[in-house]
């Protein structure tokens, strides 16, 4: 009985008590998240490239 009550109360909360964003606000926030995700991915890729190059140079130096 507890699980059914949980779903009923959850549905009631989502339909009657949650303030949903407007379509324009949703689009703006989606674009913001996408831009920050791309920037963060580029930063991580740059750091990865620097470490990869440093490690390759180190092992090449050891082989010499």
Residues 17-34 have pLDDT tens digits of 999 999 999 999 999 999
Query: pLDDT value at position 9?
Result: 95
Query: pLDDT value at position 24?
Result: 97
* Domain boundary assignment for the chain: 22-64
Place of tokens 């791309």: 38
Helix (H) or strand (E) holding 62, with range, is: helix 23-63
Q: What is the pLDDT of residues 51-61, one digit of tens each?
A: 999 999 999 99
Residue 7, both tokens: 């779903």
Contacts of 21 (CB under 8 A, 6+ apart): 29
Measure the CA–CA gap between 61 and 53, rounded to whole angstroms: 12
């Amino acid at each position: 009985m507890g699980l059914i009550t949980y779903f009923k109360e959850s549905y009631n909360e989502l339909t009657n008590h949650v303030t949903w964003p407007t379509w324009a606000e949703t689009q703006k926030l989606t674009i913001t998240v996408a831009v920050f995700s791309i920037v963060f991915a580029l930063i991580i890729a740059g750091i990865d490239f620097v470490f990869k190059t440093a490690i390759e140079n180190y092992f090449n130096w050891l082989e010499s």
